[in-house]
């Protein structure tokens, strides 16, 4: 459990059965409000060899494992390259944030090529991902009274608004605070102090929070409708070519 990323994280790649195109940090560390008791969420892409794709016995499209080292709990989830690219083309905000995360644990030329293609995956319909995620987190916050899902709701709405307006994906809430209500920095500090704590003393009441979240939801819907982002991805052919080249090469070189 840690608010600071451990120096040994890059060693994770060496322990994986299949080569990793990349592994990045997601979750609270990416979102700008890790707590002292936060787990480390690693997300990435592995590359199955051709014989585990074209034959009758296929490899794992998704690999998940968790472990604890030096008191830090690590949760690692990787998708095979083809599955990850299908998710990218499916207007999935999670995988875009993972691909473009600035908290890079391990990388490769393939990772850089995928990042370069990411802009061609962005559409105005990514707003639906952020709107849906916000609704889920609001319900969770209402049910549990925890601060964490409330901050997640603010984070995804502000990320979505910024994406629709600028075409830039920013997952770190602390870089988007100017677009939120004035009490948001205080909630961030409270979350950093406790992973599963409630709202701090002096926090706004439920009616104010609901009104502000409703207003941000309306802003995201308006930003979606006015967005210059396209209706459809333009990266399908390039990603298909990338998957074929990588699979035939048998390694995540990007060459």
In a domain, 255, yes or no: no
Looking at residue 106, its pLDDT comes to: 96
Are residue 92 and residue 171 in the same domain, yes or no?
Answer: no
pLDDT digits (tens, 9 = 90+) for 186-198: 999 999 887 778 8
Are residue 88 and residue 174 in the same domain, yes or no?
Answer: no
3-state secondary structure of 187: helix
Are residue 188 and residue 240 in the same domain, yes or no?
Answer: no
Burial label, 4 (beta-carbon count in 10 A; 0-12, 13-18, 19+): exposed
Are residue 176 and residue 56 in the same domain, yes or no?
Answer: no
Are residue 238 and residue 186 in the same domain, yes or no?
Answer: no
In a domain, 159, yes or no: yes
Cα(92)–Cα(130) distance, integer angstroms: 9
Are residue 118 and residue 153 in the same domain, yes or no?
Answer: no
- Among 114, 211, 219, 116, CA closest to 164: 219
| Whether the Cβ atoms of residue 122 and residue 88 lie closer than 8 Å to each other | no
Are residue 23 and residue 117 in the same domain, yes or no?
Answer: yes
In a domain, 143, yes or no: yes
Are residue 102 and residue 131 in the same domain, yes or no?
Answer: no
In a domain, 103, yes or no: yes
On whether the pTM is more than 0.95, the answer is no
Looking at residue 254, its pLDDT comes to: 46
Are residue 137 and residue 187 in the same domain, yes or no?
Answer: yes
Are residue 151 and residue 211 in the same domain, yes or no?
Answer: yes
Cα(167)–Cα(122) distance, integer angstroms: 8
Summarize the confidence of residues 233-253 as an average pLDDT: 90
Are residue 31 and residue 100 in the same domain, yes or no?
Answer: yes
Q: What is the CATH number of the domain that holds 48?
A: 3.30.460.10
Question: Is the per-residue pLDDT at 73 higher than 60?
Answer: yes
- 209 lies in which domain range? 126-226
Are residue 114 and residue 154 in the same domain, yes or no?
Answer: no
In a domain, 63, yes or no: yes
Question: Is the per-residue pLDDT at 37 higher than 70?
Answer: yes
């Amino acid at each position: 459990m840690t608010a600071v990323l451990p120096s040994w994280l890059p060693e994770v790649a060496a322990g994986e059965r299949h080569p990793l195109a990349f592994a990045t940090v997601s979750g609270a560390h990416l979102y700008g409000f890790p707590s002292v008791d936060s787990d480390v969420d690693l997300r990435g892409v592995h590359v199955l060899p051709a014989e585990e794709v074209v034959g009758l016995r296929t490899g794992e499209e998704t690999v998940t494992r968790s472990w604890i080292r030096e008191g830090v709990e690590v949760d690692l989830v990787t998708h095979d390259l083809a599955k990850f690219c299908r998710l990218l083309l499916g207007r999935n905000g999670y995988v875009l944030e993972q691909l473009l995360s600035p908290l890079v644990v391990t990388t490769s030329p393939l990772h850089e090529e995928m990042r370069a293609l990411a802009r061609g995956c962005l559409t105005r319909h990514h707003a639906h991902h952020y709107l849906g995620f916000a609704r889920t987190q609001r319900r969770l916050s209402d049910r549990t009274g925890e601060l964490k899902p409330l901050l997640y709701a603010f984070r995804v709405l502000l990320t979505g608004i910024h994406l629709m307006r600028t075409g830039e994906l920013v997952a770190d809430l602390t870089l988007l605070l100017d677009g939120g209500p004035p009490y948001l920095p205080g909630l961030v500090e409270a979350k950093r102090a406790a992973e599963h704590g409630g709202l701090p003393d002096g926090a706004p009441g439920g009616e104010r929070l609901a009104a502000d979240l409703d207003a941000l939801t309306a802003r995201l819907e308006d930003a979606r409708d006015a967005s210059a982002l396209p209706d459809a991805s333009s990266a399908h052919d390039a990603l298909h070519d990338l998957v074929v080249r990588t699979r035939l090469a048998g390694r995540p070189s990007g060459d």
